[in-house]
Amino acid sequence: MQSFDAIVVGAGFAGINQLYQLRQLGLSVKLFEKAPDVGGVCIGTNGQMQPATLPKETQAYMNHVVERHNLRQHMQFSSELKSANFDKSDSKWMVQLSTGETFKATYLILATGRFNKIVWPSIPGQEKFAGEQYHTGLWDEHRDLKGKRVGIVGTGSSGAALLVGLAKEAKQLISFQRSAQYVIPNNKGPVSAEYRDNVNKNYDEFFKKCRRCGAGFGFDPVPADYTTFSVSEEEREKVFEATWNHIYGLAFTFASFSDIMTNEAANRELCKFFRKKIAQIVQDPEKREKREKLMPPPEALYDKRPVCSSGYYEAFNQDNVDVVNLKKTPLAGITEKGIETTEKLYELDVIIYATGYESDGTWADITITGPDGTTLGEHWAEGSTSYLGLLKAGFPNLFFVIGPQSSLANIPQHAEFHAEMIGKLISKADKMRKEEESAAGGSNTVLVDATQQAEDDWVKLCDAIIKQTVYYGGESYFFSDHNTVRKPKSGRHVLWYMGGFDNYVDKVQEAVEAYRGFTFVY
């Protein structure tokens, strides 16, 4: 059986970066990816992005990195991780793949991503529909929806982005929504040659700025005392308007006022602004009913993961685009002809499910068995936990890139940071092994683990932080009781560190450099 120092699972941003960094340490590493090429979820869900140029350019960049650093020779594609078992006889992880192959490794790094397990809705009659059915997470790039009657189920990020693109293509487009969301424009576009040149010359500064940003995107930090009601109504309106036109849709959360997500009154002030913008955009008197369906109820807060898509509300001004509120006219089921509500049957040629991913299910669904014979799934029956988003106590030498209770932030930035931290922990273990080998002549594996107390304390901290925000009352993938079978018996179980990426970086670096909360044993 072939053995490596480390096995990395996943060939997205996280896995490629981790492979590179471990190779830099001189380790023998093999990366396995279930898809036929590099890309990860960023490429696999390109139905969310229009035009398709963006995922193609992203994949081209990834391929460029792989070729530049000669990493492809260490990769194996179309090979899905099926199970992993810790072998106590030699303290190594034994990995089984979909190809039937088995390998061993001292370190197993799961760079599988938080968003790759698709959530399919369970709607009576789905199997009866005579037309085409898709999920945005399994998008057929070569599909042709021109001139067709299309229904989109779901109004999260993928549903909103897809709607904008298909509005120009479909004969009829209907958004079936359970809950209306505030959709913020993402005003990105081609950059100038001068801007590109500036980035090329100052990469280090840009990356440093990203790490000092609460979202990992490089926003300038908002002073703590710059709060929603610390300014006049006129200035508040100007700030909101400028943020609406910002290049990043996440700017309302991180680059407007410091208390938007911690002060309910401030959050409601922002919601008032959003409602006014929707009314300004969807203003045709004949569209009044449509506009009301697009607005969350007045009591609703801006308390979910921000949905960003330029041109979303504008699309509903088109006569071929409509919205159905499934709370007012509940979904009855799917028939051979289309989607039926308690009000009427909507005849369709295509149904697209934009129902997202299970952010708590990626790892638990893989049979990963620790030294005590129990699996991750058994440990995480009520929600996944980890120490710093890096390790699960009791599963030595098993690392996660952006695991449970990681910071909610820019994924590539976060992945690179985690790859560095995992590299430091492995370097420490490898140094200990070499010292022991030199002194005693043996060659025992050093096991890197987290203490259960450190893990418990970290999860408690994440829980305490989110309870101080408006997110705690919202329904989103921030918690294990949303879009997952792993529901806590009482209360809510938080899946993310919501204290800001900058603060997260400080806490993780401090813990790793002091080796606090970790154990290193032979």
The tens digit of pLDDT for each residue in 353-392 reads: 998 888 776 787 789 999 999 999 999 988 999 999 999 9
CA distances from 487 to 13, 350, 374, 475, 494 (A): 29, 33, 19, 13, 11
Q: Which of 166, 122, 115, 156 is nearest to 138 (CA)?
A: 115
The alpha carbon of residue 352 and the mean position of all alpha carbons in its chain are separated, in whole angstroms, by 20
The whole-number average pLDDT for the span 343-353 is: 97
Residue 176, H or E segment: strand 172-177
d(CA 437, CA 310): 59
d(CA 348, CA 351): 7
The whole-number average pLDDT for the span 479-508 is: 88
| Cα dihedral 462, 464, 465, 470 sign | positive
The tens digit of pLDDT for each residue in 454-482 reads: 999 999 999 999 999 999 998 888 888 77
The tens digit of pLDDT for each residue in 184-204 reads: 998 878 889 999 999 999 999
* Bigger pLDDT: 249 vs 345: 345
> Is the pLDDT at 53 greater than 60, yes or no?
no
Domain boundaries, the chain: 3-117+359-514, 126-353
Is residue 222 classed exposed, middle or buried when 0-12, 13-18 and 19+ CB atoms within 10 A define those classes? middle
Grade residue 12 by pLDDT with cuts at 50, 70 and 90.
very high
d(CA 177, CA 197): 43
Q: Answer whether CATH 3.50.50.60 is correct for domain 3-117+359-514.
A: yes
